[in-house]
Amino acid sequence: MSHYNSATMKIFYSPNHRQHDPPFEGYNDSGAQPSYEKAERADTVYAALQETDWAEFHPPADFGLAAILAVHSAAYTEYLRSAYHDWKIHSPVDGMAFIPGTHGIDYQQSQTLSNSEQAGFFLLDKTVAMAPGTFSAALHSAYCALAGAQALAENGSTVFSLCRPPGHHAGQEIGGGYCYFNNAAIAAQWFSNLGKVAILDVDYHAGNGTQAIFYERADVLTVSLHGDPDFEYPYYAGHATEMGAGAGVGYHRNLPLPAGTDLSLYLGALESALELITRFSPEYLIVSAGMDIFKDEPLGSFKLTQDDIHRVGREISNLELPTLIVMEGGYHLSTLGANFRAFLEPFAKRELV
């Protein structure tokens, strides 16, 4: 006999995300460019979920650094902790952020350079600006993912980690695309001690950091649907030919999609992704959820409506796996909260056997 889940969905959220608030992310001919990845993103999602009758908010515990260091290198973690403050010694102007502008440095070379020059090794692009509270915000974002993993393992069918900054572009020792710590990967590594894990990335952009972290492993399946990197960030990763290496061959799959992708085309790729996950038969599913698949997103080119996003959530929830949903991208502030609510609702109300 089946019944509907009447329990609330646990949602992990930390106001510490507001400590990461760089005033801009770069310059062009018009001057300083404000960041799309701003504090209002998490605030609007939080507000939209407060309007539901199923959202149950919790603060994350302090997990320390052990679970983060299981994914990210100690050198990278220490760099994020100290980068802004070391740079600030040489730049006393208030209201500024450290924006990386040196690229392509190898590890050995980086050891001889100053902290700000090391950005060429540890930070991929100008979207990963370092503000005074960036490290704290990134740390608590990872804690939200870890708290969600722990809660799901203990009891629950779906948990949402309202993570900001996002994480899926961050590799073992490099940040990029607004991402510092890879929240989904940190949760997956934590889960991997309990059994097989699948990560489904439905953010508009390829989850290149997640791919790199698990590329040679067979215990974590990674599948990503995204705008084709032939025209979309991160450009150098996310191609269909990238399918894993070593023990991981066949345990990674990219499903790149063209600009203008509508629901029909998206569902075709999603069906393939869900079949892969079903065959893998994981104990836990992690969904890297980005709402930049929405039709009006400034950093996307897909044509999905809010109803379409609800349908995507429903299709994934039909797997009936213990699921941790981790917030990634989405930058259209006036609809972001409602879009996440639409995506999460099928999980909150899904039928349980």
Residue 247 belongs to a domain with what CATH number? 3.40.800.20
Is the separation of the CB atoms in 98 and 130 below 8 Å? yes
Residue 151 domain flag: yes
Domain residues for the domain of 289 are: 3-61+133-352
Question: Is the pLDDT at 121 greater than 80, yes or no?
Answer: no
Least confident window among 44-53, 110-119, 206-215, 253-262: 110-119
Pairing between β-strand 351-352 and β-strand 3-4 as defined by DSSP bridges: antiparallel
pLDDT per residue over 38-54, tens digit each? 999 999 999 999 999 99
Asked if residue 244 is part of any domain, the answer here is yes
Angstrom distance (rounded) from CA 233 to CA 79: 24
* Mean residue pLDDT across the chain: 89
pLDDT in the model for residue 109: 47
Catalytic residue among 72, 169, 226, 310: 169
Distance CA 58, CA 144 (A): 9
- H-helix or E-strand spanning residue 58: strand 55-58
Residues 116-137, mean pLDDT to the nearest whole number: 77
226 labelled catalytic: no
pLDDT in tens, 243-293: 999 999 999 999 999 999 999 999 999 999 999 999 999 999 999 999 999
Q: Is residue 187 part of a domain?
A: yes
In a domain, 95, yes or no: no
Q: Is residue 275 part of a domain?
A: yes
Is 154 within the bounds of a domain? yes
* 58 pLDDT above the threshold of 50: yes
**Termini Cα distance of the chain:** 6
Q: Is the predicted pLDDT of residue 96 greater than 90, yes or no?
A: no
Longest dimension (CA), the chain: 67
- pLDDT of 353 strictly over 90: no
Domain count, the chain: 1
Task: Establish if 123 belongs to a structural domain.
Answer: no
Q: Is residue 110 part of a domain?
A: no
Beta bridge partners of 352: 3
**Tally of CB atoms within 10 A around 239:** 14
